Amino acid sequence: MTSPILVALDFPDTAPAVALAERLAPELCRLKVGKELFTRGGPQLVERLQGMGFEIFLDLKFHDIPNTVAGAVRAAADLGVWMVNVHAGGGRRMMEAAVQALRPYEKPPLLIAVTVLTSMSDEDLAELGYGESAAERVRRLAALAQDSGMDGVVCSALEARDLRTHRGPDFCLVTPGIRLAGDDAGDQRRVVTPAQALANGSDYLVIGRSITGADDPLAALERVHAEIA
Ligand SMILES: O=c1ccn([C@@H]2O[C@H](COP(=O)(O)O)[C@@H](O)[C@H]2O)c(=O)[nH]1
């Protein structure tokens, strides 16, 4: 069985990202390539990591007009990534365009919608003028994402139990904001431990700095496996 752990390779350059990947193993984790690393390394880096046997979550959070997002998810599918995401805030027509764009693919990537970033608190949302809590907004955007044909959402594991109840067993829940007990939350606001995240119903745990910032990243990954075993 493949691991539920997605290691976020948030590095300022390709060399340390590849060096870390060389110390990990596809049986232990998948890898997430986000905005910083993709802007440095581009599709070639994704292909290199795939060539090492890793499945890749391309975390570029597309948010644009429907035609542009459709083209972007097609480009991700052509790259052969395992998972790709868009912002649910782009709305129904944008998400439906992304879903349609992947129809011709025999083995399309999982198509996931970001609800409310795990770095956002209720106070942050209020400041933006939203009259609902993070939990309420996640619930509404997840319903819209499912109705638009998306495979699942990115949310905090704090919301996973509620979404599992309302969106059913097959809706994929991808949860960043994961911290080992005692680790610094940093810029994250809606934080959960690995074991609690899985207990709440998360399918995939996105973990960056708790692993990549550790003195021994492989040991940190093994600690997460031990915690969730
Ligand atoms: O809501 C979201 C969506 C994406 N992320 C990404 O996950 C990792 C988390 O890194 P940590 O170091 O474990 O905090 C990072 O790449 C984010 O871009 C997220 O945190 N929250």
Q: Read off the pLDDT of residues 12-62 as tens digits, 9 standing for 90 and up.
A: 999 999 999 999 999 999 999 999 999 999 999 999 999 999 999 999 999
pLDDT band at 117 (very low <50, low <70, confident <90, very high): very high
For the CA of 156, the nearest atom of ligand 1: 1
Query: Is this complex scored with an ipTM above 0.95?
Result: yes
Q: 118: Cβ below 6 Å to ligand 1?
A: yes
For the CA of 186, the nearest atom of ligand 1: 14
Predicted TM-score (pTM) above 0.95: yes
| 110 touches 172 (CB < 8 A) | yes
Q: Which of 35, 59, 107, 122 is catalytic?
A: 59
Residue 135: exposure state from Cβ atoms within 10 A (0-12, 13-18, ≥19): middle
Q: 208: Cβ below 6 Å to ligand 1?
A: yes
Q: 194: Cβ below 6 Å to ligand 1?
A: no
Q: 5-228, what's its fold?
A: TIM Barrel (3.20.20)
Residue 214 has phi, psi (to 5 degrees) of -75, 155
pLDDT band at 223 (very low <50, low <70, confident <90, very high): very high
